């Protein structure tokens, strides 16, 4: 089933010059670019994106991280795009993510783990509306 999902190449990906490397993995898999923008977000936008996590202990440093510099927000489309992106991203903790995944190959951190991918079609719809209101369907 064709789906859309919201992907972030987080500020560590931009700072480390890994945007091309990471985007090329999604493109090589066969996912299509629907929208893409380099953007620096403020804490209000971070709170909206991470609404389910704002009360967690790890959230304040996560908010500092995602607002620390430009990131690349992307909408990708393809067959089962939500789950496919999360498989390509790998486990949250880069130290534990499997080799072959983006985090497993390129991240050594539980926080600075390079990428975000929506965790369900419902989250994808909410996140796409937040990041790209013009795309809402
Ligand atoms: P996900 O990005 O794999 O869906 P979530 O549990 O939704 O993981 O957490 C959102 C983000 O918060 C993670 O990608 C990571 O950057 C950060 N994070 C999650 N858990 C921790 C933690 O225990 N320590 C530090 N950062 C964390
Ligand atoms: Mg998540």
For residue range 35-73, list pLDDT tens digits in order.
999 999 999 999 999 999 999 999 999 999 999 999 999
Residue 136, pLDDT score = 73
116 among known catalytic residues: yes
Nearest-atom number in ligand 1 for the CA of 91 is 3
pLDDT at 115: 99
* Band of pLDDT at residue 137, cut at 50, 70 and 90: low
pLDDT in tens, 69-116: 999 999 999 999 999 999 999 999 999 999 999 999 999 999 999 999
Fold for the domain defined by 2-135: Alpha-Beta Plaits (3.30.70)
Confirm or reject: Cβ of 73 under 6 Å from ligand 1: no
Question: For the whole model, what pTM was predicted?
Answer: 0.98
CB-proximal residues (5 Å) to ion ligand 2 = 119
Atom of ligand 1 nearest to the CA of 113: 16
Q: How far is the CA of 123 from the centre of ligand 2 (A)?
A: 9
Instruction: Say which residues have a Cβ less than 8 Å from residue 103's Cβ, sequence separation at least 6.
Output: 89, 90, 91, 92, 93, 94, 97, 113, 114, 115
pLDDT recorded at residue 27: 98
Would you list the domain boundaries of the chain? 2-135
């Amino acid at each position: 089933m064709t789906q859309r999902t919201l992907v972030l190449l987080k500020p560590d990906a931009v700072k480390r010059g890994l945007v091309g490397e990471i985007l090329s993995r999604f493109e090589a898999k066969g996912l299509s670019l629907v929208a893409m923008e380099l953007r620096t977000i403020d804490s209000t936008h971070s709170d909206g994106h991470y609404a389910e996590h704002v009360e967690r202990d790890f959230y304040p440093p996560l908010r500092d991280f995602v607002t620390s510099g430009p990131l690349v927000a992307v909408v990708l489309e393809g067959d089962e795009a939500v789950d496919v992106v999360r498989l390509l991203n790998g486990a949250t903790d880069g130290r534990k993510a499997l080799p072959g995944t983006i985090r497993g190959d390129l991240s050594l951190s539980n926080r600075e783990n390079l990428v975000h991918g929506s965790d369900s079609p419902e989250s994808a719809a909410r996140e796409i509306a937040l990041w790209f209101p013009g795309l809402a369907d």
